[in-house]
Amino acid sequence: MKVAFLVNDLQLSGGMNVIVNHARRLAALDDWEVTLVLVRDPDGAAWRDHAGDRPVRVQTRDQALTEHFDVAVATWWETTFTLFELAADRYAYFVQSLEDRFYRHDEAGRLGASLTLDLPVAFITEARWIADTLASLRPDAPCYLVPNGIDKAIFSPGDGEPAESGSALRIMIEGSPSSWFKHVHAAVDAAAAMTEPRHVTVVTGDRTGLGEVAADEVVGPLSQAELADAYRQTHVLLKLSSVEGMFGPPLEGFHCGATCVVTPVTGHEEYIEHGHNALVADWDDLRGTARQLDLLARDRELLTHLRQGALQTAERWPSWDQTSPLMASALEAILREPQPTALAASARLLADARAGLETYNAHLRELADCRRRALRFERHLLRLRKMRAVRWLLALRRYRAVRVVARPLRPLTSRLRRVVS
């Protein structure tokens, strides 16, 4: 079996970690050849940081265009642009989340990502909720559920128990602050609203947009082993994401003896049980989330109960060596089954493109109307500034005494400027 997984880059991420773990184990099978195809120009990331000793090839797009594959698999919506350029007997799409949700309603990527679900491909996914959604959207296309595994040699509990009552609750907040749907700053604010002692660690591979936060330490990027060590030193992983696929970090934390406080985000229902192995917080309820954290800081018996439930859940969860054979079976089934027809896919894609264009046109009309109103308001301001009395008042700003007298009015004038702008 000759398989190509199409990827944007080799940068370490949760999604890339899933792909690499499957690719490494598939490549170790007899008569399997697995290639990671970079659809973009290489960015200098060292493959040795990801590959270990498994025989996985890495090729550029141009190199892959000269070969023929049994199955070519897109792994992110942008990689589908290259998918059908490759010569392959079958085409598949490994969907790790409904990727249009990563974009706000007025971003072009939202439409682009949603349209790729109309392509004539077979689907593979990692979460039951995604499989159910794809079955509803694409009843004509086969969809194979391959749960994510865990590297249990890395993610394992330490020998210690949670700290005794009275010590600070150790809280980890993990995620990229530049991704709006991770809500890293909201998690930091919730921890800061606690009344009980706490120690807050922010773990992020990208500090862009983090700024000054109320955290005791900020660490990252971390290797998988370093991340596991950080989980072992943590009582509670706090994740307030609004968009997730499989929702992997809490499961990793479970394996290392941490429990979690999370939102009811998609993917949490795969393994999180409120009151058994974690606590589920309400949406946009920072005060309520802080109260849950305070409860865990005070009630160490509850914390221990949740920790034991988390470890029980982790014990039942499969390893990568158990889940990757499911990926192999899915790819073999895709090769046996006929490819979904392009005719039906074309009709769906055009219908969805039309709906998306209508939505986009509505956004453009709103922007045009906003621009007209802004220009009209700006003309009024220009006329006002040209009035003699206004020019005279503005000229008074040159005098220090006037600035001192007007200082108490600064909050009002600042607010007025924000409203005007």
**CA 108 – CA 146 distance, rounded (Å):** 30
Contact (Cβ atoms closer than 8 angstroms) between residue 166 and residue 182 = no
pLDDT of 165:
44
- Amino acid at position 219, single letter: V
pLDDT of 348:
79
Q: Are residues 213 and 115 in the same domain?
A: no
- The answer to whether position 163 is within a domain reads no
- The answer to whether position 157 is within a domain reads no
pLDDT of 407:
75
pLDDT of 61:
93
- The answer to whether position 378 is within a domain reads yes
- The answer to whether position 197 is within a domain reads yes
Q: Are residues 86 and 66 in the same domain?
A: yes
Q: Are residues 26 and 58 in the same domain?
A: yes
- The answer to whether position 46 is within a domain reads yes
Question: In terms of residue numbers, what domain contains 101?
Answer: 2-149+323-340
- The answer to whether position 158 is within a domain reads no
First-to-last alpha carbon distance for the chain, in angstroms, is: 60
Q: Are residues 135 and 193 in the same domain?
A: no
pLDDT of 395:
76
Q: Are residues 131 and 48 in the same domain?
A: yes
- The answer to whether position 134 is within a domain reads yes
pLDDT of 159:
67
What's the average pLDDT block by block, 10 residues per block, for the chain (421 residues)?
94 86 94 94 54 73 95 96 96 95 86 92 96 93 95 85 67 93 95 96 89 91 92 95 92 95 95 96 95 96 95 96 96 93 78 78 80 80 76 74 72 66 56
pTM recorded for the entire structure? 0.82
Q: Are residues 223 and 180 in the same domain?
A: yes
pLDDT of 376:
80
Between strands 198-203 and 169-174, the pairing is parallel
Q: Are residues 43 and 140 in the same domain?
A: yes
Q: Are residues 176 and 121 in the same domain?
A: no
- The answer to whether position 164 is within a domain reads no
Q: Are residues 141 and 14 in the same domain?
A: yes
Q: Are residues 48 and 108 in the same domain?
A: yes
Residue 259's DSSP bridge partners are 236
pLDDT of 404:
72
Q: Are residues 312 and 359 in the same domain?
A: no
Q: What share of the chain is helix, strand, coil (3-state, %, to 5)?
A: 50, 15, 35
Number of domains within the chain: 4
**CA 208 – CA 179 distance, rounded (Å):** 10
Contact (Cβ atoms closer than 8 angstroms) between residue 276 and residue 300 = no
pLDDT of 386:
78
Query: Rounded to the nearest 5°, which phi and psi values hold at 145?
Result: -95, 120
- 331-379 pLDDT, tens digit each: 999 999 998 888 777 777 788 788 777 777 777 788 788 888 878 877 7
Q: Where among 302, 317, 332 does a domain terminate?
A: 317
Q: Are residues 256 and 369 in the same domain?
A: no
